[in-house]
Structure 1
Amino acid sequence: MARITDKQIQEARNKDFKEFLEKEGFCFRKHGNSYECVQHDSLVLNRKGNCLWYHWYSRNENGNIITFVQNNITNGNFREAIAYILNCNINSYDTKDIYSNENDKNIIRGNVEIERSSDVKRLFAYLTKTRGINKDIVNKLIKQNKIVQDSKNNIVFKYIDENGKTVGGELKGTLSNKPFSGIVQNSNEEYGFTLSIGNKNNIKELKVFEASIDLLSYYQLFKSELEDTILLSVGGCAKIRKIGTYLKQYENISSITVCVDNDKAGNNSFGNIVKEYSDYRINDGREYLIKHNLKDFNDLLRKGIIK
């Protein structure tokens, strides 16, 4: 199989970065000479030479289009990043691991260190009072060590692999007046925050969410209806490749229900999931959001529409 050529690398590097991200479900507004992301206000695109570069301040990430795809879609794999940007069949390229000089990739993804706070007061108050999550659900997740409060008082929704090892986490700030979302440094982005319901050896359905709080809100609203199901937060509407990890783990899954946000980015994400996972039955799980003109399942929970 042929290696990726310098010409293909340059072609990927020269792709319209903003247009690429918009196809992935991101929306931008112009601010001076920059573009600010609507969904993630700490994600900014700036022009550097002839190309746009990104800086995702809450995640301490920056670079060009290739770096972005490596960090957020292909878990550091340069070969797959080039193929993804060019919309190529990655199997037509050499399967050896090839790392880019775009960034130093000696970091082992999934080797994470979470410095924990001495208590969980901010975590508990934010989830129960601000977000309306039932205290019994929160207490259960704390007891199971699925969520923790870090030393900066952020909530960490842990990524736990099939061996029970913590390999990353989704971060959520606990100050309502200073919204913050991020990812634990060095997280293995093949994984996400999950809850499984029913027989773990016979999971038949995967439900996909953009964020962990939406997942918990949905669980609270519909848990009596859930059976042999896994709920997955991908931690951002562009990270749908995480779905593949769980389809491999749970071979009995036959359907995917998409419970992303009811907005343009969510619509794009739904379309991408339909295209990427066409071998599965894909359901749009946003019926209540569309009916009541709400953005996400936490809005639905806090509105008290479903008793």
Structure 2
Amino acid sequence: MYPTSKQIGYADKIADTLGIPRPDPTNAKVVREFIGAHKEEFYKKSDEILYDHIKNEIQIMDYAKELGYTLVKKGRYYSLKEHDSVIIDPEKNYFWRNSQPGAGSSIGYGDSVIGFAKMFSGKSVQDIMEDFSERISKIEISDIHRTSDQKLIADEKKDLKEVTLELPEKNENMKRVYAYLIKSRGIESSIVQYFVDNRLLYQDKMGNCVFIGYDKDDHRPVYAMQRGTNTSRRFVRDCKGCDYNQGMYINHGSDTLIVNEAAIDSMSMMSILQTKGCDIKKYNYLILGGSCKIEAVLSHINRDAIKNLVIAVDNDEGGRKSIEAIKKLLKEKNVDVNISECLPEVKDWNEQLRVAVQDGLEYKDISLRNLKLEGLPNRKREFNGYMDKYCQTVKSRTQTINRDLMDKLEL
């Protein structure tokens, strides 16, 4: 018995989509069994292909304008006039919203155009997918043209260096910043002071923490991020004019680079390293300012001849995406560097500090898996010094005992 033309066509589509051999088109039973065995995998693969097409071909910036939002340029990124916590990367067609919680504890919610539509269109997921699917079906994938916005981005790349970083006005004191970081966040006071002394941190007029990154050559500020100190209301925002190719980079001249998502996570790791007896200046640090903002990783690896890259991002979906993106980028660019992952056991490194306190542990007992501890004191020298002191003490006590015995014998 022969299969119907519809069954053959369906089987051919499954085979093409999954990249597997076609069944015998003259045997109805074989074709039916083929369809039954592979249809679930076919549906899943088809959805993945559709999602990828939607994410790649429907531009967030175009869709945002359709919804009536006003785009505002911020360096090589864009934001929305109506929602300034939104950051759009037009090259990756990806967005973040710092005012919304991300995956786990990543800085801000991040997603593709599908997530953007869920958040801002007011439509149901079903309506969104029907709308986007219809749009994709009209696109000839082999003849895709760049949008006018993408062309605009390419033209404006030449002017990125002219964008000036806008820093918030400094406050006359830093009481709220010190209290927030040391008491609320559990950062070692010496680490907070190190950031202040090196102009990496100050308090603005609104009482927020302002973290700053500098250009390696001329030492001008190139990156700044505000972090609220009000524990009951979350506030995180990048300042206008940030250079995301540099990010917040702390250069100690090391060949080992530790990458964190947030400045407070970096401070938390430094607190752990310091309590373990390590020298925090044996490492360089790069703060991404959120998951998947990875451009600066490549810049600093090439610039400072980094040999060891330690990815210490959040232990959540956003962190895993960052790890995959960093590895993919370095592989594509044929960068030769030793890559290791040092993830917290909980969501992020600052929470790791707080959990340790709750469990009655000291920071020095927190595990830093896959991170080689540098700058530890010479334990052998310490032991020898201890033994010398112990022997001198024993010798002194022996001499005293001998004198006492002689005095008694003379009596």
TM-score calculated relative to the size of structure 1: 0.65
Would you identify which runs of 4 or more consecutive aligned residues in structure 1 move more than 4 Å? Answer: 53-59, 61-65, 67-72, 101-107
Residues 220-259 of structure 1 aligned to structure 2 (within 5 Å)? 220-223=271-274, 224-225=277-278, 228-251=282-305, 253-259=306-312
Q: Choose the corresponding residue for 1:219, options 236, 253, 270.
A: 270
Letter in 2 for 1:187: C
Q: Which runs of 5+ in 1 are unaligned?
A: 1-10, 19-44, 73-97
**Which one has more relative contact order, counting CA pairs under 8 Å at least 6 apart?**
1
- Shift of the 62–298 alpha-carbon distance from structure 1 to 2, 3 Å rule, reads closer
| Residue of structure 2 aligned with 1:270, choices 299, 320, 323 | 323
1:1-307 pair list within 5 angstroms? 14-15=57-58, 17=60, 48=66, 60=84, 66=90, 99-100=152-153, 108-162=162-216, 163-197=218-252, 200=253, 203-223=254-274, 224-225=277-278, 228-251=282-305, 253-278=306-331, 279=335, 280-286=337-343, 289-290=344-345, 294-304=346-356, 305=361, 306-307=363-364
**Tell me, what secondary structure is at the counterpart of 1:158?**
strand
Kept in 1: contact 2:260–2:286 (CA 8 A): yes
Count of residues in correspondence between the two structures = 237
Q: How far 1:302 sits from its partner (Å)?
A: 1.7
Further displaced range: 120-129 or 98-107 = 98-107
What displacement does 1:105 show?
A: 9.4
Displacement after TM superposition at 1:285 (Å): 0.8
Which string of whole-angstrom CA distances, capped at 9 and with x for unpartnered residues, describes residues 126-175 of structure 1?
10111011112212221221101112221111011112111221211110
What letter corresponds to residue 163 of structure 2 in structure 1?
A: R
Partner of 2:6: none
Q: Is the 8 A contact 1:160 1:168 kept in 2?
A: yes
What does residue 370 of structure 2 align with?
none
- Cα distance in structure 2, aligned partners of 1:58 and 1:216: 33
TM-score by length of 2: 0.50
8 Å Cα contact 1:206/1:255 also seen in 2: yes
Pair 63,155 (structure 1): closer, same or farther in 2 beyond 3 Å: closer
Helix, strand or coil at the partner of 2:90: helix
The answer on whether the counterparts of 1:12 and 1:66 sit within 8 Å (CA) in structure 2 is no
1:256 offset after TM fit, Å? 1.0
Any conservation in 1 of the 2:224–2:238 contact (CA below 8 Å)? yes
**CA-atom RMSD in angstroms:** 3.9
* Residue 101 to residue 260, structure 1, CA distance change in 2 (3 Å): closer
How far apart are the structure 2 equivalents of 1:227 and 1:168?
A: 21
Q: Percent identity?
A: 23
Distance 1:137 1:63 in 2: 30
Q: Distance in 2 between matches of 1:218 and 1:47?
A: 41
Larger-Rg structure: 2
